[in-house]
Amino acid sequence: RRGLPRLGRAALAGSSAAGAGRDWGSAPYPAPQSPEGLEGAPGIVHLGLGNFHRAHQAVYTADALRHTEGPWGITGVSTTTGSRPRPVIEGMAAQDGLYTVLTLHRGGAVAASVPGVHHKGLVADGQGAEVVAALGAATTRIVSLTVTEKGYTFGADGRLDLDDPLIRADLAGGAPRTALGLIARGLQQRLRSGAPPVTLLSCDNLMGNGHRLRGLLDEFIAALPAAEREDLQAYADASVSTPNSMVDRIAPATTDEHRTLAARVFGVRDTVPVPAEPYKLWVMQDDFRAGRPAWEQAGAVFTEDVAPYELMKLRLLNGAHSLLAYLGLLRGHRSIDAAVGDELLGGAVEFAMREEILPTVPEPAGMPGKAYVGELLDRFANPALGHRTAQVGSDGSLKIPVRWAGTLTESLAAGRVPRVLALGFAAYVRVITADGAYDEQRLGTVHDDARARLVELASRATGPDGAARLLLAEGGLLPQQAAQHAEFADSVAEFTRILDAHGAEAALRAART
The contact set with ligand CS2 (CB under 6 A) reads 205, 248-250, 317-318, 321, 391-392, 399
Closest to ligand CS2 by CB, 190 vs 249, is: 249
Nearest CA to 244 out of 180, 287, 275 is that of 287
Q: Which of 217, 396, 245 is nearest to 324 (CA)?
A: 396
In angstroms, what is the minimal distance from the CB of 467 to ligand CS2?
24
Kindly give the pairing relationship between strand 142-145 and strand 101-104: unpaired
Q: How far is the CB of 52 from ligand CS2 (least distance, A)?
A: 6
| DSSP, res 162 | T
Q: C-beta of 249: minimal distance to ligand CS2 in Å?
A: 5
Residue nearest to ligand CS2 (CB): 321
Phi and psi, residue 283, nearest 5°: -125, 125
Q: How far is the CB of 3 from ligand CS2 (least distance, A)?
A: 35
Q: Which residues pair with 120 in a beta bridge?
A: 75
Q: Least distance (Å) from ligand CS2 to the CB of residue 395? A: 7
Whole-angstrom distance, CA of residue 282 vs CA of residue 337: 23
Residue 283 vs 493, nearer CB to ligand CS2 = 283
Shortest spacing between CB 14 and ligand CS2, in angstroms: 36
Residue among 50 and 121 whose Cβ is closer to ligand CS2: 50
Report d(CA 74, CA 71) in Å as an integer: 9
The enclosing H or E element of 168 equals helix 165-172
Buried b (16+ CB within 10 A) or exposed e, 217-247: bebbbebbeeebeeebbebbeebbbbbbbbb
How far apart CA 455 and CA 418 sit, in angstroms, is 26
CB of 431 to ligand CS2, least distance (A): 14
Closer to ligand CS2 by Cβ: residue 75 or 205: 205
- CB 276 → ligand CS2: shortest distance, Å? 10
**Smaller CB separation from ligand CS2, 195 or 427:** 427
User: What's the closest the beta carbon of residue 349 comes to ligand CS2, in angstroms?
Assistant: 13
DSSP string, 460-486: T--STTHHHHHHHHHSSSS-HHHHT-H
User: Given the complex with ligand CS2, which of 317 and 327 has the nearer CB atom?
Assistant: 317
C-alpha pair distances (Å), 108 with each of 344, 346, 374: 26, 22, 20
Angle between helices 226-239 and 209-222 (to 10 degrees): 150
Query: Could you tell me which of 211, 45, 204 has the C-alpha nearest to residue 134?
Result: 45
Please compute Rg for the chain using Cα positions.
23
Q: Find the shortest distance in angstroms from Cβ 303 to ligand CS2.
A: 18
If the CB atoms of residues 242 and 391 are measured against ligand CS2, the closer one turns out to be: 391
Fill in the DSSP letter of residue 314: I
> Do residues 203 and 209 make contact, with C-beta atoms less than 8 angstroms apart?
yes
Helices (H), 270-394: 307-312, 319-330, 336-341, 343-351, 369-380, 389-393
Nearer to ligand CS2, 148 or 153 (CB): 148
Closer CB to ligand CS2, 187 or 312, in the complex:
312
Report how far residue 418's alpha carbon sits from residue 487's, in angstroms, rounded to the nearest whole number: 10
Q: Which is nearer to ligand CS2, 320 or 498 (CB)?
A: 320
Q: How far is the CB of 291 from ligand CS2 (least distance, A)?
A: 26
Q: Name the E strands within 356-396.
A: none
The whole-angstrom separation of Cα 137 and Cα 196 is 9
Residue closer to ligand CS2 by CB (options 80, 205) is: 205
